[in-house]
Chain A
């Protein structure tokens, strides 16, 4: 028993002590955070850029007065020019684009106007200009029919939906977006971890085999101890990485106001400025606090461990039968990766339709359940499904470690030809 801890220790510390571990662990989240900060900063600063647009309003929808309701667009009405004559001039007059509104507008059917520009105009500008024209025309129509546009705005309504869930503890508000994000995030993390650490296990085993250290090792320890030591050690590296990320995230959250005071002020300003933004933030917080956090964390860890251990043992067996040739490994790995990818695909469906038969199947089938169940955890999964899924996963893990242990034991000392699937199955089921 002592020996397996030695192996776990070696597998764990050689990886954690490597510089590349620290670099990837710290850099990856920094890059992701930096990416989001950049997006946020760009979207906040986007308003500086005002589009200068020249308008020839032959239909007189603007009534000789340029609309200024959108600060990003600056309309200048051009008199005494035709579409053709102005087409050559607008660039020289420093307009980015030129809108022509023809004389006759059919108020019922759709109209098509043309926005001339030297290079293609961004989608947001296009839709902003469209909104502005449509609003103006509607306002004109309302006035023509004797309705005050301001009165109309007051009387028109807008409905938002809240979803209330009746639970034993009372009524809870559900927030589809938050539940969706948490489910998807958990599923994606498990998917990533199984892929990254599963292939690490495989590479580690192949390395031991090609280095021929395997033979020295099996003269001291049982092959099964070697395999489990490697799997557990690498799994612990994964958990360490999680822990570092959580600590970093908390650290960033606490330090951010100190490092970027203006930025945070801006955020606060933005959220107090419009009550709508505030309510979104509040909704998100309320949504998270309404989720069964303890249950989610427990299930996440359970399915991560179950899924990782099952797949890692398969990856270890694959690693033990290939030799130096990377192409061989690719061929053998493909059928192992297939169900993981399948699980991910079903998971993306399951977050939208958590009680569909596909989602239920995917969350019971042990090769996809670690990922698919994550897609359903924020919704109430029936007790029998949860229990059955967990039992199946444990059973699957035990079954696979039992047979892969045998393949590993034989494969790790075999050199030369890659064994066929038939041979491997024979190894797996012999005594």
Chain B
């Protein structure tokens, strides 16, 4: 079932087509990656999903119903890229305030805060102020305030920036946990290695348009270039053939690009017939990073200002 369905969303600003006809669906319980270079329109898109902006045109369906910000915002937790907390407010009071603004009763909010503070070892922070916290600590607090009200849809914009590996892992585990318990997570980032590790499904936007949509596995398959890594001691003169090109040559390891009509078995046969011992053989799939760079570099990555009559 889809928790969120976006149908040809548009949002134009005075000099930018920030979001220009984007549609995609997000399945409940999935971890969804929203990728794109700086200024691609990710934040605008997220702001429409959180009800901060109204789209100029297009529809948003939330949980099978038309999206209604005032009704649905209790089901959404949003952690913006720029962290925001009241600096002079005590941490406990702040968490309570934000949870109650999401419609929780005081008792429910307190229970939830206690649970999360214990989980993240933040019990001693209650009477401290936000300005006393380090960047990483306030990041943790921000994450907690985002998920306090058990939202069905959690939107995290660069959740790991400023976190050390230990805390990043802590949050990563929580993200998996929340998804396992039925929450859907939208994860917006430039850090491709995290996307590969965490996300099930990705959408890549650039200049306000969607340029890629699919599962991580599928995307990699779609962009693979028939490159294989072969572990074997091969002499240069043994590589004289038309069935593959050598991408990279090292004495005990080769990167080979197969011609389209060649199968892997034919390749292996070729080496076996020459009596070469094969230590390892596997397909090399492109990293999301490579795909990202390839797709974005084709177009002008930096946005140009344009005049839009709306």
Residues of A that sit less than 8 Å from B by CB:
2-3, 6-7, 10, 14, 208, 211-222, 413
Contacts and interface: CB of A to CB of B under 8 A. Distances in A.
Contacts of A215: 47, 52, 78, 80, 82, 84
A221 B97 CA distance: 12
* Residue among B78, B86, B98, B103 with the highest chain A CB neighbour number at 10 A: B86
B88 interface: yes
B76 A219 contact: yes
Contact of A220 (B80, B85, B88, B101): B101
Contacts, number: 55
A219 B83 contact: no
Contacts of B101: 3, 6-7, 217, 220-221
Mostly helix, strand, loop or mixed at chain A's interface? Answer: helix
B51 A219 contact: yes
Given A3-B101, A220-B98, A221-B101, A214 B73 contact: no
A212 B97 contact: no
Contacts of B152: none
Nearest to A413: B52
A219 B153 CA distance: 12
Given A212-B84, A219-B50, 11 more contacts: A3-B101, A6-B100, A211-B87, A216-B79, A217-B101, A219-B76, A219-B78, A220-B73, A220-B101, A221-B101, A413-B52
Contacts of B164: none
Contacts of B86: 14, 208, 211, 213
Contacts of A2: 103
A211 B145 CA distance: 16
Across the A-B interface, give the 6 residue pairs with the lowest CB-CB distance, nearest first. A212-B84, A213-B84, A212-B82, A219-B78, A220-B101, A215-B80
A6 B78 contact: no
Interface of B: 47, 50-52, 70, 73, 76, 78-80, 82-89, 97-98, 100-103, 145
B187 to A, nearest CB: 16
B80 A212 contact: yes
Contacts of B80: 212, 215-216, 219
* Residue among A6, A208, A218, A220 with the highest chain B CB neighbour number at 10 A: A220
B308 to A, nearest CB: 14
B98 A216 contact: yes
Given A211-B87, A212-B83, A219 B98 contact: no
Contacts of A216: 78-80, 84-85, 98, 145
Nearest to B87: A211
B70 A211 contact: no
Nearest to A221: B101
Given A219-B52, A220-B98, A222-B70, A214 B76 contact: no
Contacts of B47: 215, 413
A218 B51 CA distance: 8
A47 B45 CA distance: 80
Given A211-B84, A212-B80, A213-B86, A218 B52 contact: yes
Given A3-B101, A6-B101, A10-B97, A219 B73 contact: yes
A211 B89 CA distance: 12
A392 to B, nearest CB: 33
Contacts of B145: 216
Nearest to A423: B14
8 contacts: A10-B97, A212-B84, A215-B52, A215-B78, A216-B78, A216-B145, A220-B98, A220-B102
Contacts of B97: 6, 10
B138 to A, nearest CB: 11
A217 B82 CA distance: 13
Nearest to B80: A215
A215 B46 CA distance: 11
Contacts of A218: 52
